[in-house]
Structure 1
């Protein structure tokens, strides 16, 4: 079996940064073909995989190698020609490593799209040049801005089918730019491509001399993501307390977890919540030994100069920069349960950072039509894939920030207490 030129594991060893991006678009806009093309052009597929795809394409009578077969892994996806589940793919170039979330385009799989985009640094939305912007294009753009994805790329695909007409590209670009302005969209880039033929994917194509921007891969390699991280608000949710049971180590007490935001250094004064006790960082340990600073998304063990009562679910932060300690939460939520809607009075388990509590729905303020952005204030419940603003009351305080300020401490999931299924994903608007 032939190895790829540069596998993600090898790239990781070189200390390169990681870009997570999600693809979205309407059905048949070419998402799976685009991802297959990226994998093919970066030589990150095995020879036997390519041979299998070529054989399958030939048996189907396809004129070209159907690169979508590299990602449409479910039998139902191949039969229907659509993406259903979130498919994660990995590849790397000499400059950066990537994780792709190939998310479904169909409206009935909105929950899957929310799942894939929730951790993305960049969202890539495809539009068929022949069709222009459609309802699902606008819906996906809204969802990516709702999830606070920092970078947005619109790929006008299938430009070869409109003879690389600049007027077609300009019309779609202008329409999308106007719509994105209403959503407070962040960094926006628009690229004309042909995923099937590879034009403007790995390198600039001579078929679009009027386009002066970068190829898609060049943009993915160079988009600046370091400043997207919140390095101001120190948030360290404690996941585990380390107390070795060794007779030779009797005084070690460390608090393990992943840095959600901010920068931690030995000597820094910190505040432990919800106790309100203060201390200083004595050291920061990792699997490779102590470090002089920790930043997101590093997983570390923090030792303090004082022995104070801290346990799983607590949070270490700065004395003058702390999250809200709140039991009343207002949030936007995407409902994911197909068996029962979210109703006022419903009781669930809420998972927020490393803290778990019980919560009750105090109210549904409105249901949002993600296609028209209309707010239905008469709605009393949220059904599968619907999004709305709700009020929650928790049994114990959450240590929370607004989602727009911190995606980690501002996000949560709701879990059905009977089945233990995740039934909702929420973004905190206000905590008090």
Structure 2
């Protein structure tokens, strides 16, 4: 062990403890990243994190005998590791790395290492060396901070995880500042091996970067995985409970929503409607199925316009739709009047005929019984409209529906 560390047993013990901890953490992180691939950037981040903490350790354990090797190897690890970590965050976010940042890394690192060699062998200018390395790290840090801020604004579900990563980086830099200021002047090189507060903070920053950085980056991946799973669950739920053609609930979705309404609306009755496009088969046969799809979408649009936020609109199959109006009696009456006006006459405002029937439904009702009653009213209306259309001009004698009872009359 170096004489300086032997003469400073507490610092030597601290250095050994921190070194073993960060090395074990780095090895476990690398193994986990390679054996369990995750999002893009996971492996690059693990490699960069390992190089970064190793570089900081090499710099902290510098001795007069290993000064040149420590300066070149330590700073090479720190600069390369920092660039890899930033690139990993860019890959994770799916953002293209700025070409200028890549160019700076590829050209600046060799030039800085050559300058560090000259400033160590021929002049031993600590201040110039610190300015060179810190200038490079400032550019890399700016790219990192800019990305983090943009992603925190863009991805609200990952905002807290990005904030934790940002917080760790800021605290790590802050803890390293006292030692940088202490040694930057070059007037007290022996203080690099003393058991003092700047050195203690330096080792604490290495430990925080290794353990805290690993934890926060893992949390970022875990939050993204949970957000992706939630998004996938919503997509699957949409496929399972909604009709892709009309953007309404399908039969299963309407049943589920109706059950939830019955459980939450014990004190208020609703109005259930069943709607059916007149002569839909003829429309499909004469105008091809694309025209039928257009009719279905037009009817679903009208139903969505009539429905309030708490109401349910579904397509139970074919050309048949169901609708549950859940508002106050006056609101429901107004909605049914708007719907009747949109469907009045043999073609209505939509350009095709639609028959519908409705029934009062209590929260204690089953959907099957309520649908049977509304179906009967709908078929009664359809039959009556056909009879009236065959004998009397429909425009002169339109059918009207009692919006509260669901009964049709001329």
TM exceeding 0.5:
no
Q: TM-score, normalised by structure 2?
A: 0.24
More strand per residue: 1
Q: TM-score, normalised by structure 1?
A: 0.23
Greater C-alpha Rg: 2
More helix per residue: 2
